[in-house]
Structure formats: structure tokens, C-alpha cells
Structure 1
Amino acid sequence: MSSSTETLSNFKEAAQSIMSTRHTWSEFLSLSALTLPSSFSDFTTRIGINLTRFLFHYSFILLFILLITLVYHPLSILLLLLSFAGWYFLFFSRDSAEPFSLFNLVAVDDRVVVLALAVFTLVVIAVTGVWLNVLLSVVVAAGVVCLHGGLRRTDEVGLDDYESPYGPMLTDAGPYAPV
């Protein structure tokens, strides 16, 4: 099988996996599911659960906010799309067990690939002068994600599958519980 066929096959599998696990927008935007959390630990637990549950939606929101902030910078949009495609095809879509091979000639370590992609992305952001736009869009999107994730109830999910990030600190049977 050729390298381009494998890449397209990986892309198709990843897209099908995302589409099969994603929830509907009506479920994501349901106002009846929004309530105030009872504590800070409940707030952070909700964020963790909702982040894994609605990752597709939160990613879409981040990219939409980024697009809005870059609407007057079309060259930046094109170069960042090229960078995102590089991240996807060279790092995220391939099997992590197999080493990255440059034109099937030289095997390259994952750290080298990540470093090259990170440098390329930072150079694109610096050269096009949109670092403030990108930073602002990431901060705004993180705020939106934390607000929605913390306010959206998770009781219909079944919390038996998820643990609080605070673990045993919140129970009487924790490591420092009186004997």
C-alpha cells in the first residue's frame, strides 16, 4: 500500500472515529443541562468530564474563534491551516508505534518531528504578526470551554466511570484519614 493511500485511510478512520463518538449540537447547547456546581471540585470534575465528552465541539469553538480573530489576515489563515495539516498528517494521524520516515528514506525521532512542527507554527505566527490574535482567541476559547464545561451537568453521563481529579482527598478513606 502506498504512503498516500495509508494517510488517506488513517484520515478516514480518524474522521469516522470522531463522528461516531461525537454528541449532537442540541445536546451540547441544551440550556436545561446548565446548573451551578455545588463546589469547586464539582466544577473541575465537570470540566474534565465535559472536555472528554464534547472535545469535538470545544475544538470547533476554538477554531471558530481563531478564524474570527484572523478574518482580516487571510495569509495567516492559509499558513496556519498548512501548519495544522502538518501537525495532523505528520504527527497525530500516524500510528505512534511506527517511527516517522522522511520520504521512506530516513527514520526520524518523534521529538524531532514535534520540534520541527512547533518551530514552523511559531515562525508562522511570528512572521505574520498575529501572535496577539492567536493568544487572545485561545484565552477566550479556554474561558468559554471552562464556563460551559463547569456549568453543564454531568449526572446523565454516569459518574461511575469518572473520578474526581482530587481523588481520595475528598473522602474520609483518603491517605490521611484518621485511623
Structure 2
Amino acid sequence: MTNNNAIPTSSQASPAVDHESISRAKQHIKDGLATRRPWKVMFDFHSMGLPHNVSDAFSRIKTNLAYFRSSYAIVVLNVIFFSLIWHPTSLIVFAGLVFLWIFLYFLRDEPLKVFRFQIDDRAILIGLSVITIVLLLLTNATFNIVAALVAGAVLVLIHAVVRKTDDLFLDEDAATTETSGLTSHPSS
């Protein structure tokens, strides 16, 4: 005597769990991208100008590197990607590394902890950068990678020097308050 009602429902529950997992992942990606600095702020042409002196240039570099850290990482990763178009093995390795970057740096909403030690964002950025460079250099695309890193660094430094820092807020609450104040004005 078999009981037809006793058929395991794990295969029926699986699509619901997969759908729920996919929805959660989509929401996590949207939330992670929402916390990144907007490209519009990064490329605001009204906020561009040459520094007055070397001290001002170094101050801008320091502030802009801290403020646009994620955006600068995306710029450098894109430059590396385009330099590897003609090196399929390196491109495959790079694609795997991009997923590592996405999950460990860009979309992480909690601090990374290893053996009860909290790892700060700067250490993760440096660690991922070193891992990326070393693994890509092992794929025999050394010239392309070095040229891409130099080009990416030059692009980042040019932007960091030219972008004024007067309108940037390193404090998230101040930036949110300023942004909401700017968007709430009625148009006349």
C-alpha cells in the first residue's frame, strides 16, 4: 500500500526557494549599487578645475581617492578588461576575479571578518588588487596588464587632481541631507 500523499515535496519547494534566493540577490545588488557614488557627481563639470598649488593638488587627491574609491576601482577594472580583449585566458581569469571583486568589495553590506578580526575596506581593496595583478601576470599578459594599470592610475590621478572637493561630503549623513535638500526644491 503506497500513499500517494507521501511523495516528497522537495522538488516542488525548490523553485520557490530558488526564486526567493534570486530575488534576494537582485535586491542585494540593487542596494549595493545604490550606495556607490553616482557617476553624475563624479563627472560634474562645474566641479572641475586646476588646483591652485601642489598642496591643494595633494589634498584633492587624498579626498577624492577616499570619496570615489569604488568608482575609481570600477574605472581601473574596466581599463584592465579592455586591455585583455585579445588574451582569452587572461580574460577568463579576470572574469572570475570580477565576481570576487563584486562579492567581497562592491556588494558587501557588512564588514568582512576573518577569524574574528574585522578587515577594513582599504585592506580589502589592496588585497584584491594584489591578487588580481598577480593572477593576471601569471597568464602571460604582462605588458597589457602593466600598461592598463598605468593608464588606469593616470586616469584616476588626473580626475583626483582636477575634481574640486568643495562639494564632497565624506560623512554619509551630511551627503544625504544635502542631496535631499537639493531635490526637494520645487521647480519654478
TM category, shorter: 0.5 to 0.7
TM-superposed CA distance for 1:97, in Å, is 3.1
Q: Which runs of 5+ in 1 are unaligned?
A: 101-109, 162-179
Gaps of 5+ in 2: 1-19, 120-125, 172-188
Alignment check: 8 A CA contact 2:136 2:145 kept: no
Q: Give yes or no for the alignment of 1:97 onto 2:113.
A: yes
Which whole-Å CA distance do the structure 2 matches of 1:53 and 1:120 have between them? 22
One-letter amino acid of the structure 2 residue matched with residue 31 of structure 1: F
* TM-score for the superposition, normalised by structure 2: 0.57
Q: Quote the residue 1:50 is aligned against.
A: 64
Matching residue's letter, 1:122: V
Whether contact under 8 Å (1:43, 1:150) holds in the other structure is yes
> Is 1:125 aligned with 2:140?
no
Provide the rounded CA distance (Å) in 1 between the counterparts of 2:130 and 2:169.
38
Check conservation: 2:36, 2:70, Cα contact below 8 A: no
CA-CA distance at 1:143 after TM superposition:
0.8
What is the aligned partner in structure 2 of residue 19 from structure 1?
34
Note if contact 1:80-1:121 (Cα within 8 Å) is conserved in structure 2: no
Instruction: Please tell me the residue identity of whatever aligns with 1:20.
Output: T
Q: Decide whether aligned partners of structure 1 residues 18 and 135 sit closer, same or farther in structure 2, where only a CA change above 3 A counts.
A: same
Number of equivalences: 139
Q: Percent identity?
A: 22
What secondary structure is seen at the aligned counterpart in 2 of 1:38? coil
Residues 1:43 and 1:16: Cα distance change in structure 2 (over 3 Å): same
- For residues 127-162 of structure 1, the C-alpha deviation after alignment (integer angstroms, 9 at most, x for no partner) is x21122111111111111111111111112269x7x
Kept in 2: contact 1:76–1:130 (CA 8 A): yes
Deviates more, 1:137-146 or 1:31-40: 31-40
Structure number with greater Rg is 2
Q: Given the two structures, how large is their TM-score scaled by the length of structure 1?
A: 0.60
Judging changes above 3 Å, is the alpha-carbon distance between structure 1 residues 47 and 76 closer, same or farther for their aligned structure 2 residues?
A: same
State the SS of the aligned residue for 2:50.
coil
Deviations 1:93-133 (A, max 9, x none): 58533439xxxxxxxxx9xxx99x9678625422x211221
Q: Choose from 45, 49, 54 the match for 1:31.
A: 45
Q: Aligned residue for 1:70?
A: 84
Matching residue of 1:60:
74
Equivalent-residue separation in structure 2 for 1:98 and 1:10 (angstroms): 23
Aligned residue identity for 2:113: A
Task: Report how far residue 37 of structure 1 moved.
Answer: 0.7
